[in-house]
Structure 1
Amino acid sequence: MVTTAANWVAPPTRPPLIETLVSGVDRYNPSNVGILEDYLYHQIRSQEYDCLANLAILKLYQFNPDLYNPDVVINILIKALTSAPFPDFSLCISLLDERPASATSTAAAANPDEPDPLPQLLPVLTQLHGLLQQCRFPRFWALYRSDAVEALRDNYTVECVGFEDAVRDVAVRAVKAAFTSISSERLGSYLDLSGPELTAYVEKLGWTIDAATGVVSVPPNPDNQIESTVVQESIQLPQLTKVIAHAAQTSLPVVSAV
C-alpha cells in the first residue's frame, strides 16, 4: 500500500517500461494503452498498485473514446477503492466525469450483446468508497456482502487478489490512528472477522488480546499518542520597541469634533 508521496508518484514495483510511459509524452500515445491495461491486470493479480499508471489509462480513454473498456475502468476503481483515505478514487472519478458522452455509445455499438456494466456498478462503488472514507466499516461489510453488490463480487473483486485484506488495511490504519485499545468485538466488526480468524489477524499485526477481557491493545504510534506541546516565544526588548514605534507612526490621527 502506498504510504508516502514518493511511492505514490513512483512505486518501487513499477517496471522500467511503465516508468518510461508514465513519465514521458508516450503516456498520451493510444498505441500504448494495451501495455498499460496489461500492467493493470498484473496489479490485480499481484496486489501491487500504481495509481499514476491507471490514471494514464483513463486519460487515454478520455482522449480516445473508441478505446474505452468498461471492465478495465471498473478494475481501476476497485484498486483505487482500497487506497482510502487517499484521494485516488476521486481522481479516477474526475476523469470519468470528463469522459465524452459518446464513449458509452461507441462501446455499446462495438458490443451490442454486452451492455456497459459501469453505469450499474459505479453508484455501488461510490457508496462503498464513501463508507470507507467515513470509517463506517461495519456498514461497508454489510453492503459489500449484500445481494446489491453480488455482480461486483462475482465478476470483479473475486479476481482482485487480496481485495478484502486491502479493505482491512484501511480499517487497521484508522484504528491505529484513533485507538490505544479496542474491544475484540468492535475490531472484529471493522475487519469482518471473528473467533480464531480475528485472533490470527491480530497476532499477525503484532497486537495483543487480553484473554480475560477481550481487549486488543494497539501499540503506541505518533497518531494515537496525545502529548501536550508548550510553545515559547522569545521577544527581545529592542524588537518590541521597533514594533511600538512602527505602530505609532502608522496610526491614524484623532480628529476632535468642534
Structure 2
Amino acid sequence: MSSATSEWVTPPTRPELIENLVSGVDRYNPSNVSILEDYLYHQIRSQEYDCLANLAILKLYQFNGDLYNPDVVINILVKALTSVPFPDFNLSVALLDDRPPAANLDEPDPLPALLPRLTVLHSLLQQCRFPVFWELYRSDDLESLRDNYTVEVVGFEDAIREVVVRAVKATFQRIRVARLASYLSLDESEVPAYVEKLGWKVDSGVVEIPPNPDNQIESSVVQENIKLPQLTKVISHAISAA
C-alpha cells in the first residue's frame, strides 16, 4: 500500500474514537452519527480531511432517512472536491439515494439544486480545466454555495490550488507564469512567492518544476530472447505455410 493510499485509509489526524467507529461495526450504529458529524465540522475548521469517516455518515443516512441533514451532505461533497484525483467525490455521490423530500426539514432541501453544480465543478477539476472551474465557482450561480458552505471551509481555495499543483507537477517541466496564474486563480505577481514555497523556480516568466517520476519522459527498451529451437520452428512453419 502506497503512503498516499495509507493516509487516505487512515489519516494521521484521525482520533482514536473515530478510528474505532470507522473500523468496527459501530459505524452502522445510528446513535453515533452526531459524533461523526461533529468530526466533519472539526475537519472543516481545521483543514483536516477524512474521507472514510465522512462516507460512514452518508451510509448512516442511507439506512436511517430520519437522520438526513442536507447541510452535512453538501459539506462532505465540498471537502471531497479538494481530494481530486482521488475518487472521494464519486464515492460520496454513490451513497446518495434518490429519496423524496425529507419530512423533518424545516426549510427546502438545498442539495437537489447544488448537486449538479458540484458535479460540474468536480468534472472540471478531473479534466484539469482549472480556469473554467474558477470562473464557474465565482459566478453568480454559485453565490449560495460560497456564502453558505465554502466560506465556512477553512482554506478551501488553497486546497483547490493544491489539486492544481498536483496536476501541474505531474504534467509539466516548465509552464509560463501567466498560464499557471490562471490555473491557480492568482495574479501573475503572486505566482513567484507561491511557487517558491513549493521549491519551484521562476526564470524569465517561466516556472521550472523539478524533475519527478511523473513529469519525466524515459524511453524503455524491451528485449525479447528467442532461443534457436524456437526460431527453427517459426521458420519451418513459415516455409510449410508458403
Q: When the two structures are superposed, what TM-score results if normalisation uses the length of structure 1?
A: 0.86
Matching of residues 15-34 of structure 1 within 5 Å: 15-34=15-34
Distance 2:98 2:135 in 1: 34
Instruction: Provide the C-alpha distance between the structure 1 equivalents of 2:85 and 2:10, rounded to a whole number of angstroms.
Output: 19
Give the structure 2 partner of residue 233 of structure 1: 224
Count of residue pairs the alignment pairs up: 236
2:196 maps to a residue whose letter is E
Contact 2:195 2:201 in 1 (8 A): yes
CA deviation string 1:103-157 (max 9, x = no partner): x332xxx233x11111111111111001001000000000011101100001100
CA contact (8 A) 1:65 1:100 kept: no
Change (3 A) 1:122 1:201: same
The match for 2:202 is 209
- Post-superposition shift, 1:164? 0.4
- Report SS of the residue matched to 1:105: coil
The structure with the largest alpha-carbon Rg is 1
**Where in structure 2 are the equivalents of 1:71-220 lying within 5 Å?**
71-96=71-96, 99=97, 101-102=99-100, 104-106=101-103, 110-112=104-106, 114-210=107-203, 213-220=204-211
SS class of match (1:232): coil
Distance 2:125 2:11 in 1: 23
Q: How does 1:39-50 map onto structure 2 within 5 Å?
A: 39-50=39-50
Secondary structure at the aligned position of 2:13 is classed as coil
**Equivalents in 2 of 1:78, 1:236: separation in Å?**
59
For residue 184 of structure 2, what is the amino acid of its counterpart?
L
User: What TM-score, normalized to structure 2?
Assistant: 0.92
- Letter of the 1:217 partner, please give it: E
- How many Å separate the matches in 1 of 2:72 and 2:105? 15
Give how far 1:196 is off: 3.5
Structure 1 partner of 2:213: 222
CA deviation after TM superposition for structure 1 residue 244, in Å: 4.8
- RMSD in angstroms over aligned alpha carbons? 2.1
Unaligned runs of 5+ in 1: 249-253
- Is the partner of 2:163 in helix, strand or coil? helix
The code of the aligned residue for 1:101 comes to R
Partner-residue secondary structure (3-state), 1:193: coil
Aligned partner of 1:179: which letter? F
Contact 2:51 2:80 in 1 (8 A): yes
Counterpart CA distance in 1 for 2:233 and 2:111 is: 66
**Mapped contact 1:207–1:218 kept (Cα < 8 A):** yes
Listed one character per residue, the Cα deviations across residues 191-240 of structure 1 (whole Å, up to 9, x for unaligned) are 00014322211111111111xx30111111111110101122334446x3
Secondary structure of residue in 2 paired with 1:158: helix
8 Å Cα contact 1:62/1:100 also seen in 2? no
Identity, in percent, stands at 71
Contact 1:62 1:95 in 2 (8 A): yes
Farther off after superposition, 225-234 or 26-35 = 225-234
2: CA distance, partners of 1:200 / 1:81: 25
